[in-house]
Amino acid sequence: MKNILLIHTGGTISMKEDETTGEVKPGEKNPIVDLIKDVPDINIISTELFYLPSPHITPKEMLQIKTYIEEMMEKQTLDGIVITHGTDTLEETAFFLDVTLTLPIPIVITGAMRSSNELGADGLYNLLSALKVATSTNAKDMGVLVVMNDEIHTAKNVTKTHTSNIATFQSPQYGPIGIVNRGGAFFHHKPVINQPLHVAALNKNVLLLKAFAGMDDTLLQKIGNHQLDGLVIEALGQGNLPPMMLPSLKKLLNKGVPIVLVSRCFNGIVQDVYGYEGGGRHLKELGMIFSNGLNGQKARLKLMIALETTTDRKKLEEIFST
């Protein structure tokens, strides 16, 4: 019998729909706890670490999950870990854990798009699928995995693509690395696993901006007047920005604030191709750091974590190149 640590954190998977108003919100108790008491051949060690809607989750809670997992690993023998989580920030928590943990057992995150008493509720099914993956020996050394709607995705590539569809979690450009069915978990790809980044506290202020046509440096002037440790910009195309942004960006770079560029496109990576003012090559020459395929929200977390141990631009470039 395998020991599986089941960590509940809240989210739609733990909520109910009000039959009168149709409102979905947390109740006095997480209903999924009573639905998943006995699973054959699995000893579930269940805990409700907190009970939060996912928009209430911050990097502090993500660090709390990481610390709790490490503490439990020291206390007892575990064969796998499953985390239930709200879907709005699920990909960020999954990525945070993927970047900061390296464990010899599967770590799986799942959630639901429909609350427990809605017609077609998907929470219990997704949780059972996650348990199948967590007990699979083939799921070891895969990094943190996201299991939703019969699919297995990597934390690095998965993102929420639809506001309400149960097939919302997709990995643009790459696709899932496996599937789940009645027979268990089956993998057809193996992700590249990088060395974890050490983090014991989170004290850095890192912001995320999205570029748009005609954007000037008004926002950058405002944030430049406050304590800013790092900045991530979802740039246009392959990594280009409107030239009106450059005066304030140069000031931030001169102050030593690292600026990471990702693309607002969900396929492809940023590259130093265009040499015009505000083009990728020009921005690279100014000292901006190019990320290798992350979306904005994940790049922000990675920069926040990396800045706890280094502010060296070359080291940051190396971290974001993998």
From the list 9, 12, 100, 135, the catalytic residue is 12
Q: Is 12 a catalytic residue?
A: yes
Rounded Cα distance between 288 and 263, Å, is: 13
> Which residues in 124-151 are b (16+ Cβ under 10 Å) and which e?
ebbbebbbbbbbbeebeebbbbbbbbeb
β-pair type (169-170, 178-181): unpaired
Q: What is the CA radius of gyration of the chain?
A: 21
CA angle 280, 281, 286 (to 5 degrees): 95
Among candidates 252, 267, 208, which has minimal Cα distance to 234?
208
> Which residues in 192-219 are b (16+ Cβ under 10 Å) and which e?
eeeeebebeebebebbbbebeeebebee
Rounded Cα distance between 183 and 201, Å, is: 41
| DSSP per-residue codes, 83-145 | EE--STTHHHHHHHHHHH---SS-EEEE--SS-TTSTT--HHHHHHHHHHHHT-GGGTTS-EE
Q: What are the distances in angstroms from CA 238 to CA 16, 73, 261, 278, 301?
A: 43, 42, 10, 12, 21
Residues marked as catalytic? 12
